[in-house]
């Protein structure tokens, strides 16, 4: 069945969080970012009248993630982790996407007590647990649920509220039900080379051990960022 053009032109951005501790995973927030056009106020009111889930919605001028969105997300993560902070030292592992890089983000993360671990530019397919292990599962989940809704929906088009509610269930049905500790070990967080996933081990020429832990130089840290990105403030903020 052909999908109408207006259903194909709009989009949301779904920000997922996974962690290595399965006891914390169910409490982490997920965030949906939408434009005002894609998510009318009437639809948001209807959604807010439904039972609460871990999905938080940011409604603005566009569906793109911005630095302001990231400030909201960092605050939400801090709130979710409050009951656990006595026993953990949170490390946020994320890529070099533009909204992650402004000085305001680094300062906010430090204020919240988060250590930021940046994945070097162009290496997310090897080092980002979400990219390597989680998003294929999430995409498969969305495809399955969308097919199910189309089978029962009028004219084969899921109602916006029904689909928004289904998206909100992904946190519980796709992410919180899975133990992601192995995903983090597979990208090297355990510092045990035997845990590396095959593509990363091959990329690293099958190392027998990891290099010794030493403080990187400013020049080495600069190699993390996208080319031509000026990040002179990063070294002092991160180390």
- Please identify which residue in the block is written with the tokens 């355990």: 190
pLDDT at residue 146, as a whole number: 94
Q: What is the pLDDT of residue 4?
A: 56
Residue 154: band (very low, low, confident or very high) from pLDDT cuts 50, 70, 90? confident
Structure confidence at residue 9 (pLDDT):
47
- Calpha distance 97→51 (Å, rounded): 33
pLDDT digit string, tens, across residues 97-147 = 999 999 999 999 999 999 999 999 999 999 999 999 999 999 999 999 999
5-238 has which fold?
Nucleotidyltransferase; domain 5 (3.30.420)
Assign 3 a pLDDT band (cuts: 50, 70, 90): low
pLDDT at 5: 52
Encode pLDDT of 40-61 as tens digits: 999 999 999 999 999 999 999 9
pLDDT band, residue 173 (cuts 50/70/90): very high
Q: What is the mean pLDDT of the chain?
A: 94
The reported pLDDT for the residue numbered 126 is: 97
pLDDT single digits (tens) 14-47? 999 999 999 999 999 999 999 999 999 999 999 9
Q: Please give the pLDDT value at position 7.
A: 52
How far apart are alpha carbons 112 and 77 in whole angstroms? 9
- How many degrees, rounded to 5, is the angle at CA 147 between CA 142 and CA 150? 120
Please check the confidence at residue 209 and state whether its pLDDT lies above 90. Answer: yes
Res 174 pLDDT > 90: yes
Task: Report the C-alpha gap between 176 and 22 in whole angstroms.
Answer: 8
Q: Which residues pair with 14 in a beta bridge?
A: 32
- Reported as a pLDDT band with limits 50, 70 and 90, residue 155 is confident
Using alpha carbons, list the distances in angstroms from residue 143 to 2, 51, 102, 136: 15, 24, 34, 11
Percentage of residues of the chain with pLDDT beyond 90: 90
Q: Would you list the domain boundaries of the chain?
A: 5-238
Query: How far is it, in rounded angstroms, from Cα 36 to Cα 40?
Result: 6
> Which residue, chain included where needed, has tokens 């899975």?
178
What is the C-alpha to C-alpha distance for residues 87 and 109, in angstroms, rounded to an integer? 18
Q: Which residues contact 16 (CB under 8 A, 6 or more apart)?
A: 30, 130, 134, 135, 138, 170, 171, 175
DSSP code per residue over 114-159: PEEEEPPTT-HHHH-HIIIIIHHHHHHHHHHHHHHHHHHSGGG---
- Mean pLDDT computed over 192-220: 95
Mean pLDDT of 141-164: 91
In the predicted model, what is the mean pLDDT of residues 161-169?
96
Contact 47, 165 (CB under 8 A): yes
Per-residue pLDDT, 156: 81
């Amino acid at each position: 069945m052909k999908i109408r053009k207006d259903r194909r032109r709009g989009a949301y951005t779904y920000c997922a969080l996974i962690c290595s501790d399965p006891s914390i995973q169910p409490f982490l927030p997920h965030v949906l970012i939408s434009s005002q056009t894609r998510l009318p106020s009437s639809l948001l009111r209807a959604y807010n009248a439904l039972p609460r889930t871990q999905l938080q919605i940011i409604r603005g001028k566009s569906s793109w993630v911005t630095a302001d969105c990231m400030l909201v997300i960092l605050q939400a993560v801090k709130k979710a982790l409050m009951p656990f902070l006595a026993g953990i030292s949170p490390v946020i592992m994320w890529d070099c996407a533009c909204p992650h890089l402004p000085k305001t983000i680094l300062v906010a993360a430090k204020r919240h007590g988060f250590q930021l671990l940046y994945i070097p530019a162009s290496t997310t397919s090897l080092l980002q647990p979400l990219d390597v292990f989680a998003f294929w599962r999430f995409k498969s989940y969305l495809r399955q649920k969308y097919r199910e809704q189309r089978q029962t929906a009028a004219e084969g088009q899921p109602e916006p509220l029904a689909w928004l509610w289904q998206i909100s269930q992904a946190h519980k049905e796709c992410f919180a039900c899975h133990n992601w500790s192995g995903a983090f070990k597979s990208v090297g967080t355990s510092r045990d080379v035997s845990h590396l996933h095959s593509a990363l081990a091959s990329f690293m020429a099958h190392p027998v051990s990891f290099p010794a832990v030493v403080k990187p130089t400013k020049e080495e840290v600069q190699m993390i960022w996208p080319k031509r990105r000026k990040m002179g403030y990063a070294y002092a903020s991160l180390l």
